[in-house]
Amino acid sequence: MKDRQRAPALSPRRRRLSLIVIGCLLAGSTAAALGQPGAQERRYTVAFANLTEEPGVTLEGTGFTGREVRESFVLASRRLSIDLVFYDNQRDAARALANAEDAIARKVDLYVQYHRDEPSNAVIADRLKAAGIPVLAVNYPVPAAPLYTVDNLAAGRIAGDALGQFGTRAWRNLPLATVIIGALAAQDDRIPERVQGVMEGLRRHLPTARVIMLDTQGDPSRVAPLLGRVLAAQPSAKILIAATDDATALASKSVLEATGRLADAGIVSHGVDRSVHGGMNERKEIDPSNRGSVLIGSVAFFLDRYGYDILPLALRMLRGEGVPPRTTTRHILITAANVFVEYPPYDMN
């Protein structure tokens, strides 16, 4: 019997290449079987009903607008298996209900609701539940829906803590005047919670300090007369200022500059909008080259990145994974030391 003809042996290089190809095929089939990132995932339609996109209207007691929130969803969705449908609730209950009805007619897979009105949120929750559409709430509760929200109390504590630390480190044993200034009574934006947090943070370092409350009612033009009177009454004191928002912080800085008191003050703010971190070619109030600024820092609210936080939660809900009943914004103090970590120059245009 003749010997059977043997196939020529593969070279070591071709053998390695064959093993790589086989490994890739096995990995792809395993990923498909397990539903892992290598697999082809179905696309979901997610509706986002924004609080308002009216030009010039800012959100949550910060300098951010609804259009910036919407843009963050557009950018974040590019790397996810999500198609977006956008609505503008216009801060109006009837409009919010009409938007939800339209989303039900479109048969969206999930509804993200950003709306303040509690009664209409309850009605919308019932309508969406009847249609089998899950809801994810933003900043204001919707019955039986997970909530993504800012944490004004925690943000205020961060600001108060930073301001108190600065005062005790820079001006120990010197006379101090402590001021909280801004729209102090703005319940819709939950600014009283922010003020309470500032007080708690300050008390950790300055337990006996008398805090002067200056309510601008949300009007930065009121900063000059209110703060001016305090400065005139405290000619030899160092001034610690907690501003509830960046616009108020910058107005306070202008008053200090006009009265020749910049060297006597330190300011901590809330928000970190573009007026503070700047754009690619814009002036940056918080900047590594501006370490002597009277604005020590501002607590980040990241409304311009909401999409990056909220859409992954939505995707987990759609995949049937558990999500916490309440997820809060990652509030951190932005200073000259870390501003380019959170807002790199190449990401500012």
So what's the pLDDT on residue 286? Answer: 80
Tell me how far apart the alpha carbons of residues 313 and 251 are, in angstroms, rounded to a whole number: 37
Distance in angstroms (rounded) separating the CA atoms of residues 160 and 181? 13
In a domain, 6, yes or no: no
pLDDT digit of tens for each residue in the chain (349 aa)?
444 444 445 555 555 545 444 454 444 444 444 444 445 678 999 999 999 999 999 999 999 999 999 999 999 999 999 999 999 999 999 999 999 999 999 999 999 999 999 999 999 999 999 999 999 999 999 999 999 999 999 999 999 999 999 999 999 889 999 999 999 999 999 999 999 999 999 999 999 989 999 999 999 999 999 999 999 999 999 999 999 999 999 999 999 999 999 999 999 999 999 888 866 556 677 877 666 689 999 999 999 999 999 999 999 999 999 999 999 999 999 998 998 899 887 554 4
The number of folded domains in the chain is 2
Residue of 325, 329, 327 lying closest to 146 (CA atoms)? 325
Helices assigned H by DSSP within 11-117 = 12-34, 66-77, 93-106
Q: Is residue 5 part of a domain?
A: no
Q: Looking at the domain assignment, is residue 157 inside a domain?
A: yes
Both 80 and 209 in a single domain?
no
If asked whether residues 146 and 220 sit together in one domain, one would say no
Question: In this structure, are 139 and 248 located in the same domain?
Answer: no
**Pair (139, 285) in one structural domain:** no
CA angle, residues 299, 305, 309, in degrees to nearest 5 = 105
Residues 131 and 252 grouped into a single domain: no
288 and 163 within one domain = yes
Asked whether residue 35 is assigned to any structural domain, the reply reads no
Count Cβ atoms below 10 Å from residue 293 Cβ, excluding itself.
18
Spatial neighbors of 140 by CB under 8 A, at least 6 apart, are 114, 115, 116, 118, 121, 149
Q: Partners of 65 in the beta sheet?
A: 58
Residue 126: count of CB within 10 angstroms of its CB: 11
How far does CA 162 lie from the centroid of its chain? Answer: 19
Helices marked H in the chain — which ranges? 12-34, 66-77, 93-106, 118-130, 152-170, 191-205, 223-233, 246-258, 274-277, 306-318, 339-342
Would you state the pLDDT for residue 6?
45
Q: 167 lies in a domain?
A: yes
Question: How many angstroms separate the CA atoms of 68 and 91, rounded?
Answer: 16
Whether residue 123 contacts residue 97, with contact meaning beta carbons closer than 8 Å, is answered with yes
- Give the count of beta carbons closer than 10 Å to the beta carbon of residue 176: 18
Q: Is residue 310 part of a domain?
A: yes
Same domain, 137 and 161: no
- Mark whether 93 and 201 lie in a shared domain: no
**CATH no. for residue 312?**
3.40.50.2300
Q: Is residue 15 situated within a structural domain?
A: no
Same domain? For 186 and 278 the reply is yes
Residues 168 and 227 in one domain: yes
Judge residue 132's burial from the number of C-beta atoms within 10 Å of its C-beta, 0-12 exposed, 13-18 middle, 19 or more buried: exposed
Helix (H) or strand (E) holding 109: none
Assigned domain for 327 exists: no
Q: Domain range spanning residue 53?
A: 44-150+305-318
Judge if 116 and 167 occupy the same domain.
no
- Of 301, 293, 285, which Cα lies nearest the Cα of 339? 285
CA distance 9 to 23: 20
Q: Are residues 167 and 198 in the same domain?
A: yes
